[in-house]
Amino acid sequence: MSRYVTVGSVSHSPDPKYNPDDPQPFFEMVEKYIWRAARMGAEMLAFPEVYPRPDGTPAEVAEEIGGPTSSWAMEMARKHNLYIIWPMWEREGDTLWNSALLIDRQGELAGVYHKMNPTIGEIEDGIRPGEEASVFETEFGRVGICICFDLNFRNIMEGLRENGAELIFFCSMYRGGRQVRWWAQELGCYIVSAIGAELGQIVDITGWQLEQSTYEALITHRLNLNRRLLHMDYNWDKMDEMLEKYGTDISFDYVTQEAKYAIGSERKGLDIEAVIDEFGLLRLHDYWDKALAARDEALRKVSD
């Protein structure tokens, strides 16, 4: 079955900055991007790390969920009928988090991700590390979030893999560059980056860059989540069988240098997961597990 979603991100250093004593100029600036994204068809829109960043330390300026900026973002999500990924310094009692809120199209909180790998400086400022690579069910598919420094560590990558993320939003102050594209291919999922500067990206499951922002800040792209990335081993020889049955209802996108290809369908009612099961294709991460199991068995025999 086709599962399309139009995603977007805003990548810039906000001007004007958020001023708690006079928030209206910041809100007016942000709503222009939300308005434009919605009219470009965006159904999910992400903003950069700690987007409302007033002057002061996290302990001085962090706000609770439902505070001035997050309640405004919830109102905007409802008004413009799109999901918003809203990063902020969050206060929960005496605990400080570097968080990203997932707000649904009704303006309700659909999930909160707490940055698992804060920088040393953030930890010294009192930010508590998160413990879960959260993946959230949405009307479009399974959405994960990571924040800035997270991109350097395997713990969140493996967690997002295990939790079945199909689409990841990367909210950051640094650009990520080729790391973002490598993650997309390594995990076999789409990644949308929102950066506190230029060069935000929307990246395909094959690792190809679909969009990149420069001075315009806002980018959007329509994605088909009914696609999966496979290794060529144990799958390549079944391609003609699939074409014989499904013809143009199925598509292949080759990533030959890395010995992988993406399989997908735009036909209503044709679930690519069902096709994978029908033809006994080996999913990418099952292949890695199979290879490691073969290695372990070979070593066990040697030790015996």
* Domain of 271, in residue numbers: 227-290
Question: Does residue 303 sit within a domain?
Answer: no
Residues 157 and 112 reside in one and the same domain: yes
143 DSSP 8-state letter: E
Geometric angle at alpha carbon 295, from 181 and 154, rounded to 5°: 30
Domain boundary among 202, 224, 246: 224
pLDDT tens for each residue of 23-34: 999 999 999 999
Pair 37, 109 in one domain: yes
Does residue 277 register a pLDDT over 60?
Answer: yes
Tens of pLDDT, residue by residue over 176-224, are: 999 999 999 999 999 999 999 999 999 999 999 999 999 999 999 999 9
pTM: 0.96
142, exposed or middle or buried, with CB in 10 Å at 0-12, 13-18, 19+?
middle
Tell me what pLDDT residue 160 has: 97
- Residue 304: per-residue pLDDT: 75
Consecutive H or E run containing 254: strand 251-255
Q: Which residues on adjacent β-strands are paired with residue 7? A: 44, 221
Asked if the model's pLDDT at residue 1 lies above 70, the reply is no
- Is 295 contained in some domain? no
**Is 154 part of any domain?**
yes
The predicted structure's pLDDT at residue 271: 96
Q: Are 250 and 238 in contact (CB under 8 A)?
A: no
Query: Residue 252 and residue 279: Cα distance in Å, rounded?
Result: 15
How many CB atoms neighbour CB 257 within 10 A? 6
Q: Residue 130: what pLDDT?
A: 97
Among 256, 184, 197, 265, which residue's Cα sits nearest to residue 227? 265
How do 83-92 and 95-103 pair as beta strands?
Answer: antiparallel
Predicted pLDDT at 2: 64
Is 65 exposed, middle or buried, given 0-12, 13-18 or 19+ CB atoms closer than 10 A? middle
Same domain, residue pair 22 and 102: yes
Residue 43 lies in a domain: yes
Domain final residue pick, 201, 224, 247: 224
One domain for residues 175 and 114: yes
Q: Residue 274: which of 264, 260, 262 has the closest Cα? A: 264
